[in-house]
Amino acid sequence: MVKDDSFKATMTRSIRPTAFLLAVWLAGCASPDMMTSAEEAYQQGYYTKALRTWQFAVASGDTKAAAKIGQLYEDGKGLKTNPAEAARWYRLGVEKGDPQAEDDLGYLYTQGKGVPKDYAEALRLFRLSAYQNFARSQNHMGDMYRGGLGVDKDLTEAARWYRLAADQGLRYAEYSLGDAYFFGKGVPKDQAEGVRLFLIAAKKGHAGAQGALGYAYDSGTGVEQNIIEAVKWYRLSAEQNNPISQKNLGLCYLAGDGVKKNIVEGERLLWLAAGQGDEAALEALQNLENVQPREYEFTSGVT
C-alpha cells in the first residue's frame, strides 16, 4: 500500500538526471546509512521519501541509487509509470558499471519498454552484469540461450548460466535448471535431480516450480507417486495464479483425484486458467464428461 502519495507530477522535471547532478555524482561518495534509510522507506511504502533519499544518494556518488530510482519509474510506485524515464536512470548506473542497472536496462530491451525491443542489446547488458556475478543476469543469460534470443539457441550454455545463478540460491534459476534435468535439456536427463531442484525453488515460493513438483508427484516422475502431495503443490501454485496449476488442480477436482470430487470447483479453476489463455483448460470445459490428463509446461522465460 502506498502510504505517502504527496509526490506531485510537477516534481518529475526536477528529478531527471541533469549534468549538474551527474557531475556531483561522479565526484562524491554516498553514506551507507543513506541507502539503508531509503530502502527502509521503500519497504514501508513511503516511496516519495525513498525517491528523495535516493536522489541525494545519486548526487553523493552511489552507483546503486540510480537503478533504484529507475525501478520506481518502471513500477510506478509513488509516481506515474514512465519506462523511458526509468531507462534514463538505468543508463546512469550502466555508465558506472552497476550490475543491477545493467540487468534492469537489459530487461527493458527484452520487452521494448521505454526503449526499442533489441535482444542483442539486452544480451550485451545481461552479459556485463552476469560477469559481475549478478545472479539475476546469469539467469537471464540462461533464458536468452534457451530461447535463442539475440544469440543462437544453445541449451548446454543455458544450463551453464542457470547453474551459476542457482548456486547463488536464485529460485528462478533453480526452477529452470530443474526443468533442464527433468527433460534432459542441455544436461544429462536426471528426473530425480530435477525434482530436487523443483523442491528447493518451490519451498521459496516459485509458482512454476510448485506446479512442476505437483506434476512430478502426480505422474510419479523422478519421485514416488503421491496424488495428495501433488494436489498440495498444485494448490500452492494455483493460488499464485499459475494457469497450468489452476488447470491441473481443476482436473483433479473433476476426477476426484487427491480431493473430494467437486465439479463446481473444478470448473471454477478451469475458467481461471482459460481466462489466462490456457487452451487445454478451455477444451476441458467444453468436454467435462471426458476428464483430460494433467500436464506440465515450463512457465519461465526472461523475467
CB-based contacts of 292, cutoff 8 Å, min separation 6? 251, 280, 283, 284
pLDDT digits (tens, 9 = 90+) for 120-172: 999 999 999 999 999 999 999 999 999 999 999 999 999 999 999 999 999 99
Q: Give residue for cell 535463442.
A: 148
Lookup: cell for 261: 470430487
**Model pLDDT, residue 290:** 77
Asked whether residue 180 is assigned to any structural domain, the reply reads: no
Distance CA(95)–CA(120), nearest Å, equals 18
Q: Which residue has the cell 489463455?
A: 277
CA distance 231 to 239: 12
| Angle, CA of 102, 98 and 143, to the nearest 5° | 30
Q: What is the CA radius of gyration of the chain?
A: 22
How many domains, the chain? Answer: 1
Task: For residue 23, give every residue at least 6 positions away whose Cβ sits within 8 Å of its Cβ, in sequence order, or none.
Answer: none
Q: How confident is the model at residue 35 (pLDDT cuts 50, 70, 90)?
A: confident
195 backbone dihedrals φ, ψ, rounded to 5°: -65, -40
Q: Which domain holds residue 77?
A: 10-132
Residue 283 located in a structural domain = no
Q: How far is residue 2 CA from its own chain's centroid?
A: 22
- Does residue 137 form part of some domain? no
Report if residue 30 sits inside a domain: yes
Instruction: Inform me whether the pLDDT recorded for 239 exceeds 70.
Output: yes
Instruction: Determine the pLDDT at residue 15.
Output: 44
pTM of the model: 0.85
What's 204's DSSP letter? Answer: T
Asked if residue 239 is part of any domain, the answer here is no
Q: pLDDT category, 39, cuts 50, 70, 90?
A: confident
Which CATH number belongs to the domain containing residue 101 in this structure?
A: 1.25.40.10
Report the alpha-carbon distance of residue 118 to residue 135 in Å, rounded: 22
Q: Which amino acid is at 229?
A: E
In a domain, 228, yes or no: no
What number of CA atoms fall less than 13 Å from residue 286's CA on the CB side?
6
User: Domain for residue 291, yes or no?
Assistant: no
